[in-house]
Chain A
Amino acid sequence: MTKISMTVNGKAVSGEVEGRTLLSAFLREELGLRGTHIGCDTSQCGACAVHLDGQLVKSCTVLAMDAAGGAVTSIEGMQNADGSLSVIQAAFQEHHGLQCGFCTPGMVMATAALLKVNPKPTEAEVRHHLEGNICRCTGYHNIVKAVLAASGQDVSAIAAE
């Protein structure tokens, strides 16, 4: 076991890992941050998405040791400082962008990554950006609507079919 340190949601953390320990396992098992969900563990579903040094990554496909020294933001770091829901989280709630909720942490992290570089995406851009996040409830229309609402756009006519 090797001791590694990194910054998670603004706090300095450290823990013991093996070479094969994934970032997702480090967050969940070592740090107890279980908001990061493991849906497939095969790099396909995106439920485990977090930000590593500002970039969206699938934490099940990054070695914890490779992320050592970096800055991670997980779903637990997305709420406002006063504990209320962030704009993105509130939009998911408002527009029913979740059903079972399992994919939601990854969807929120992917949305935050998109809006950082593209504050007013089109519907097509949102759908393209969410290609790596699977919702097995198939609730995509409302997810897309929530993302567009979080960007401050009028969603009354979008994804209505």
Chain B
Amino acid sequence: MHNFDFVKPATVADAARALSADGAQALSGGQTLLPTMKARLAQPSVIVSLTGISEIKGVCAVDGGVSVGAATPHAVVAAEVGKYYPALAKLAGGIGDPAVRSRGTLGGSLANNDPAACYPSAVLASAAVVHTNKRKIAADDYFQGMFSTALEEGEIITSVTFAIPEKAAYVKFDQPASRFALTGVFVAKHKGGVRVAVTGASNNGVFRWTEAEAALSASFAASAVESLTVSAEDMISDLHGSAAYRANLVKVLTKRAVTAAH
């Protein structure tokens, strides 16, 4: 790992100032960024740790939903969000492994937007709102393709507000070495309709399977998607699974998620 200057501000305002420096990079839990830096795929000159900012940590109930601070580790979401939004807590408890869940954060996952990360599917299916130090971003506008988001240079995610669906579940097919989703599907039945978000499958990152949403909004049962097909075009193909395999998983996991939703 190349060397860098390290700063650990105590407020979002100080972090934003520190991030305006040339070559500055925010560090949240570091469970992706530090391995990336060790591999010299990233060489920031200043690391701005966000782990000392208490105002962006923690879980609280808000009108009609739950707000999760961006620097809240997965383990805390798994332990504390269950009483508000069980499907989200279960997703957080299945990310990586226990040590990763101690450090990795919601905000870090969303800022990186790995195409196989779990959290983006929950945010998209929940129609969550991403709050930053500058604005609020709707989930549908936030994700812009593999490792690409609506965040501007130096913008810091502060929290995410999740509307709580009537029923929801996340089912992932683990890539057993990395424990990322080989494919994962988050199904959320809202008052106004069903949202189905798929991660791990597409070359364009997390996406909504709109045909399934229409079918499930008409009838919320696994059989409702039986007649649908998922195109393998633009699906990820690697040594762990072909594009056709992932396309098939999208449908299989959607059915499982609908069955598991409560």
Q: Which residues of B contact A43 (CB under 8 A)?
A: 31, 34-35, 100
Q: Which residues of A contact B98 (CB under 8 A)?
A: 56, 110, 113-114, 129, 131-132
Q: Give the Cβ gap from A144 to chain B, nearest Cβ, in Å.
A: 15
Could you say which of A19, A22, A41, A61 contacts B6, with CB atoms under 8 Å apart? A19
Q: Which residues of B contact A33 (CB under 8 A)?
A: none
Total interface residues on B, CB under 8 Å, equals: 28
A66 touches B38 (CB 8 A): no
Q: How far is the CA of A138 from the CA of B214 in the complex (A)?
A: 47
Q: Which residues of A contact B5 (CB under 8 A)?
A: 19
Q: Give the Cβ gap from A19 to chain B, nearest Cβ, in Å.
A: 4
Q: Is A3 an interface residue (CB 8 A)?
A: no
Contact flags (1/0) for B119-155 with A, using CB distance below 8 Å? 0000000000000000000000000000000000000
Q: Is A49 an interface residue (CB 8 A)?
A: yes
Q: How far is the CA of A18 from the CA of B3 in the complex (A)?
A: 7
Q: Is B42 an interface residue (CB 8 A)?
A: no
B6 touches A65 (CB 8 A): yes
Q: Give the Cβ gap from B120 to chain A, nearest Cβ, in Å.
A: 20
Q: Is A37 an interface residue (CB 8 A)?
A: no
Q: How far is the CA of A131 from the CA of B75 in the complex (A)?
A: 15
Q: Which residues of B contact A2 (CB under 8 A)?
A: 6
User: For residues 86 through 103 of chain B, which have their beta carbon under 8 Å from a beta carbon of chain A?
Assistant: 96-100, 102-103
A sample of 17 more A-B contacts (CB under 8 A), given A55-B75, A55-B103, A61-B99, is: A2-B6, A19-B3, A20-B4, A22-B34, A49-B99, A57-B102, A58-B100, A62-B34, A63-B49, A65-B6, A66-B8, A66-B49, A110-B99, A131-B97, A131-B98, A132-B97, A132-B100
A interface list, Cβ under 8 A from B: 2, 18-20, 22, 41-44, 46, 49, 52, 55-58, 61-63, 65-66, 110, 113-114, 129, 131-133
User: 19 A–B contact pairs at CB < 8 A?
Assistant: A19-B6, A20-B2, A20-B37, A43-B35, A46-B99, A55-B73, A56-B102, A57-B102, A58-B99, A61-B34, A62-B34, A63-B6, A63-B34, A63-B47, A66-B49, A131-B97, A131-B98, A132-B98, A133-B97
